[in-house]
Amino acid sequence: MEKNISELIEKLKLLITESEVLKEYTAAREEYSADKALSQKTSEYNAQLFILENESKGGEDEKDDLLISSVKARLDKLYGEISSSELTRRLIQAEDELNLFYNTIFNELKSVAYPEEPDGGGCAGDCSACGGCHF
């Protein structure tokens, strides 16, 4: 890569590091991770989900319907508690804003190679709803 481009990338990385969007995301992530009760609920949710997936794999005569309904009820309760947490909502909002921030940067850079697509050609950078890149 050309030296001047590498230097500009390093400057961009510094600007991104100093941005309010990244600072808010980092703070939200750290606060979310530090909450012991929320971490325990998330761990239990993942364990319950694992149990449900394994129990659902068996044949009809091997499934324990009472266990499956009990696990589903617990998953619903945990999901509600986790998703209603202010820390969870703050983290999701910060992630959304950070993704938008990075997508804007990506689309601006992409417009150099694809000026006919001023909005990045509809690319959200997520790829989950993508019809295929034009690279």
Asked if 134 and 114 touch (Cβ cutoff 8 Å), the reply is yes
How high is the mean pLDDT of the chain? 89
Has residue 135 been placed in a domain?
no
**Domain region containing 9:** 1-35+88-106
Question: What is the number of domains present in the chain?
Answer: 2
Measured CA to CA, the distance from residue 99 to residue 18 in angstroms comes to 16
Has residue 61 been placed in a domain?
yes
- Left (φ > 0), alpha (ψ -120 to 50) or beta: where does 121 sit? left
Has residue 55 been placed in a domain?
yes
| 48 and 18 assigned to the same domain | no
| 96 and 67 assigned to the same domain | no
Has residue 4 been placed in a domain?
yes
| Tens digits of pLDDT across the chain (135 residues) | 799 999 999 999 999 999 999 999 999 999 999 999 999 999 999 999 999 999 888 777 778 889 999 999 999 999 999 999 999 999 999 999 999 999 999 999 998 888 876 554 556 566 665 655 554
Has residue 122 been placed in a domain?
no
Three-state helix/strand/coil letters over 77-101:
HHHHHHHCCHHHHHHHHHHHHHHHH
Has residue 2 been placed in a domain?
yes
- pTM assigned to the model: 0.72
